Structure 1
């Protein structure tokens, strides 16, 4: 239903009453706030993490903005900066964010003043019969022009809610970009440390192989001298073959990490900065890992921020759908002229209009169904938000516990490796002094090789645990942005 009424035809009293009524209109739909019953607001979710008895973490300290700087490794710092600049996934995420920002600007520009200008000149043959004439009319030159301005009143908040939804969508995309950046940084650090540990494990395995090869040579000389036996040589050969078989998997692991790191840097396989592939000592944390508490975690995790912004957008869209129950009202004015080209601009061709335009599609069951659909969407977004909160807490607590257990394992393996080294040295001296058979020395060397390899693998696992814990903690590299985004849900408490 469209109704257009000239403004000068309205009594002044009616006009005043109309404007007063319009001023009393309100923004429909719920105002957004994180529900009090949300998992985000639970005291347990904002408290300290469950104590794992790990002395290598500091619960009272906050994760620094550049968490990888805790390793104090210039090569790692350079790799992270390179990835943040050239990673293709991050470039795509930046493009998605620019698109979301443009859509938000478009939503802000909706409503308000609209301007329109038209002009045209034509030569036409008019239908004589349409004027009830019996003779053909001559061709004529026509001209028309118009300039119009209108203002759309957002009386029921449809445009406002649409802008709120677009803004929340933009912030959700920004959080998705943060997820991508944190993931890329963690993968860069993980692959770099994997290269370092693989090189170290290769060194340990090669050294153990060399020791075993020397032992086999001794066995061969003993057999030649009539003091050794064939079973001893077969056993030495078997140990050499086992150690040789351990090398290819380590080499493959190192190459896979190198290829993955090159891709993260936006490079083809094999293109790595000088010195990265030769790293043989993985950087280690020189201080306890700062973890903070649940409140800081939820404010820092970008996936929590993303889910919360999706909830805000879904809530705003309830208002957009509800506003469909009400009319759209514009106030417009236009001035122009239309007629013969020769008379264009003369009083006989001038035209103008000024007045309100009310457009209202009478609500139907479909409109109310759309409202119920948006309400269901908001309920789903709330459930997903709560699930994200609980998942963030679970992932972090699990990573903390795994880190603590692997550190305990590493400490035990360090003791075992020290004792294995001592036993191998003592057995070697006893064998050289003729006090024990070579088989005892061979067993001790084999135990040392196993202890060395197990210890190297445990050290690599602890490094992986640290990276996974940094990732679970939300990275923390962009603390100011996380704090600003956290202000929205915090204000609703």
Structure 2
């Protein structure tokens, strides 16, 4: 008994056809596909890359210099609040909101998010809707003696003509079946790249915060030094006035007035130089705030250095979670591992479903409307391309080992910077205490020498020597206090402060 007509699907995306008997190719397709897939798995098993693994680094148990107070590590997230400085807090908020570095970092993060969003759709059904239209005129010609002369030398007569209009609408689809975990590998690699971009964003904002604090403290230090220079000039003027009166009474030589006058000119010149440096520092700070075109007068800088706040007590191991550059290197390492896995999966076959539906209409001598559909599979497997894929896999493996080295370097650099900053900050604290005691002693010695000179019990040289010692110590104290403040900013940055690290847990070690 003959079988009824039934559609047979062509695996090469052809239109369905009609047959009266079973196509023997259908019985061959499945074994052939299984055989090709098995061959692909066998060939892919012969290659493997070196997937980078995060090294288990043994961090030191403690720093050489421990913090003096056990503040919670979460205080590092907004470490500038520890200074209890309203101007510093206000400037940092302005920089984070409108600073050029902050805006640029945000744009880079948004770019990374867009790249991440475009990574996975490649595994979704693909292709576009296709449409076409055509108008064709057909003329039937017949030979005739008195017909139209054609270039070939004969003559023809048009005995009939027709016009045909056709239009078609087709929607072909290609959908790759994820049989070997490519989608999951791409997701892991894309997530790691996005995490690295996020930590780069946080690191840029943390650096901006530290730069604003440093610029403000440097400007304040210049303001204090400017006041010291003006105070020194005022002292020199007082000495000039005192010596002038003594010269008028015949108690001192005029050369002594010239000698002090030279010191006065030097002090005034130093004050003028410091004033210009202060204006330049204020301009630099305005650029960090994103207001580089604003007048310098819009930014008021007081001559108040302030004190160094307490430093949170942390362990070296905390740097692995707190430092954004270490977290970024960790994410880059995971992304490199994902790239190696993707390079390995390039040796596996690719299998895709390719369904299609369409509609075609024809108007002319014969009117017809047809609809059609098809479904098939595409199978591709690298055979002759294996040498190139092997080279790419080796390259990704080498890049993965570079990411391991970069991670180790970031961890060692983080510990070195934190340990050095803590050590030098402790030395700065002791230096400030010593110079503060020396400055107080120098001031008392100068006041005593000046009174003795005014009473006529000592000469001018004793006063000048005392004033010079006091001035030198005062200048050193101001510089030490500025250095200590700047060092404290360095410590907070080296410990990984300035971003919400306490709210960002470490990823799985898988």
TM bucket, shorter chain: 0.7 to 0.9
Partner of residue 189, structure 2: 165
Within the alignment, does 1:68 sit opposite 2:80 as a pair?
yes
- Greater shift, 295-304 or 234-243, is seen at 234-243
Residue aligned with 2:354, SS: strand
| 1:197 Cα deviation from its structure 2 partner | 1.8
Further displaced range: 143-152 or 327-336: 143-152
Equivalent in the alignment of 2:121 = 109
Largest Rg, 1 or 2:
2
C-alpha separation in 1, matches of 2:465 and 2:431 = 24
List alignment gaps of at least 5 residues for structure 2. Answer: 1-9, 17-22, 142-156
Structure 1 CA distance for aligned equivalents of residues 496 and 140 of structure 2: 78
Aligned counterpart, 1:176: 200
Q: Residue in 2 aligned with 1:350?
A: 371
Q: Which digits, 9 at most, give the CA deviation of each residue in 1:167-223, with x for residues without a partner? A: 222111111111210111111111111222211111122112101111122112212
In the other structure, the counterpart of 1:437 is 459
Answering whether residue 71 of structure 2 is matched by residue 50 of structure 1, we say no
Residues 1:294 and 1:345: Cα distance change in structure 2 (over 3 Å)? farther
Q: Hey, what's the Cα distance between the residues in 2 that align with 1:475 and 1:106?
A: 33
Counterpart Cα distance in 2 of 1:222 and 1:463: 45
| CA–CA distance in structure 2, aligned partners of residues 387 and 280 of structure 1 | 40
More helix by share: 1
Provide the residue aligned with 1:455 in structure 2: 477
Greater Cα shift, 298-307 or 57-66: 57-66
- The residue number in structure 1 matching 2:262 is 238
**Which whole-Å CA distance do the structure 1 matches of 2:138 and 2:345 have between them?**
45
How many residues of Structure 1 are paired with residues of Structure 2 in the alignment? 470
- Structure 1 127/408 Cα, relative in aligned 2: closer, same or farther at 3 Å? farther
Q: Superposed, which structure 2 residues align to 1:343-492 within 5 Å?
A: 346=369, 349-362=370-383, 363-481=385-503, 483-484=504-505, 486-488=506-508, 491-492=509-510
Contact 1:3 1:359 in 2 (8 A): no
After TM superposition, give the deviation of residue 165 of structure 1 in Å.
2.1
Call closer, same or farther: CA 1:99–1:224 in 2, change over 3 Å: same
Please list, as runs of the form range in 1=range in 2, the aligned pairs for 1:29-428 lying within 5 A after superposition.
34-35=53-54, 38=55, 41-45=56-60, 47-51=61-65, 55=68, 58=70, 61=73, 63-114=75-126, 116-125=128-137, 138-271=162-295, 276-285=299-308, 287-338=309-360, 340-341=362-363, 346=369, 349-362=370-383, 363-428=385-450
CA distance in structure 1 between the aligned counterparts of 2:225 and 2:170, rounded to whole angstroms: 81
CA distance in 2, matches of 1:5, 1:360: 18
The residue matched to 1:411 in structure 2 has which SS? helix
CA shift for structure 1 position 315: 1.4
Higher mean C-alpha deviation, range 197-206 or range 318-327: 318-327
Counterpart CA distance in 1 for 2:361 and 2:119 is 39
Q: Any unmatched runs of 5+ in structure 1?
A: none
CA distance in 2, matches of 1:366, 1:158: 19
Contact 1:67–1:477 (CA under 8 A) maintained in structure 2: no
Hey, what's the Cα distance between the residues in 2 that align with 1:183 and 1:318? 32
Partner of 2:144: none
Worse overlay, 142-151 or 394-403? 142-151
Contact residue 83 and residue 265 of structure 1 kept, 8 A:
yes
Quick check: 1:209–1:240 contact (8 Å CA) kept in 2? yes
How large is the Cα RMSD of the aligned pairs? 3.4
| 1:411-430 CA distance string (max 9 Å, x none) | 11111101101111221222
Give the CA deviation at 1:446: 2.2
* TM-score of the pair, normalised by structure 1: 0.85
| More moved, 106-115 vs 176-185 | 106-115
SS in 2 for 1:387: helix
Structure 1 stretches (4+) deviating beyond 6 angstroms? 5-9, 24-33, 126-129, 134-137, 342-345
* Alpha-carbon distance, 1:391 to partner: 0.9
3-state SS, counterpart of residue 300 of structure 2: helix
Which deviations, in whole Å up to 9, do the C-alpha atoms of 1:429-464 show, x marking residues without a partner? 222332222321222122222222221111111111
Residue 241 of structure 1, CA deviation: 2.6
CA distance in structure 1 between the aligned counterparts of 2:207 and 2:425, rounded to whole angstroms: 19
Per-residue Cα deviation, 1:129-159 (whole angstroms, up to 9, x for no partner): 9xxxx99974311121223334211222334
Quick one: distance in 2 between partners of 1:382 and 1:128? 76
Q: Is the 8 A contact 1:72 1:283 kept in 2?
A: no
Measure how far apart 1:407 and its partner are.
1.8
SS of equivalent to 2:376: strand
| CA distance in structure 2 between the aligned counterparts of 1:352 and 1:226, rounded to whole angstroms | 121
